[in-house]
Amino acid sequence: MATFRRESTTDKLVERGRGFAAVGDTTRAEDYFAAALEQGADPNEVLPLLLAVCVQTQRYRSAIQHAENHLRRHPEDIRTRFVLGTLYAALGETKPAREQLEQVVGARPNDSKAHYALAVLARDNENDVVLADRHFREYLRIEPNGAHAEEARASLLKRMP
């Protein structure tokens, strides 16, 4: 019994999850990371690992489920909310993607990545060039030389200096 308890600590579960992820067994890695979270592991450490192994093998639905479960307990976790929004966007689920990303912008008005994601979602999935323009402008205000600045400028309804 002592061996079982020692082997099922959160540290051991995370260690095993990392090991399985390292050898490419992402399904087992997901199981171990999820078990570690259930046992009380630090979600700031383990949830990104869990979501990464799901995304790596395009198991977006599984990643969404893990993110939603986490957000029920930690609704203030803006980083996870952003990832959840982008996962929904990757699946073409525009409405929940927009809802999640708008919550991110509501909590962090100067989050350039969220503005960029909302702009692309509005432009590419909703055909709403006015909304896309607004978010591209916010992105450029926050990060005028950011990684997506050229694309943002090219997507504006009216050129910006």
State the pTM of this model: 0.89
The mean per-residue pLDDT over the stretch 34-59 comes to: 96
Confidence of residue 158 (pLDDT cuts 50, 70, 90): confident
The mean per-residue pLDDT over the stretch 53-71 comes to: 97
Res 7: pLDDT: 63
- What superfamily would CATH give domain 94-161? Tetratricopeptide repeat domain (1.25.40.10)
Q: Kindly report, residue by residue over 67-115, the tens digit of the pLDDT.
A: 999 999 999 999 999 999 999 999 999 999 999 999 999 999 999 999 9
Res 43: pLDDT: 97
Res 159: pLDDT: 61
State how far the Cα of 42 lies from the Cα of 56, in Å rounded to an integer.
21
DSSP code at position 76? T
State how far the Cα of 130 lies from the Cα of 65, in Å rounded to an integer.
32
The highest-level CATH class for domain 1-75 is mainly alpha
**pLDDT exceeds cutoff 60 at 161:** no
**Same topology between domain 1-75 and domain 94-161:** yes
> Which tokens belong to 124?
């590419």
Q: Kindly report, residue by residue over 123-140, the tens digit of the pLDDT.
A: 999 999 999 999 999 999
Comparing 8 with 147, the larger pLDDT belongs to 147
The domain ranges of the chain are 1-75, 94-161
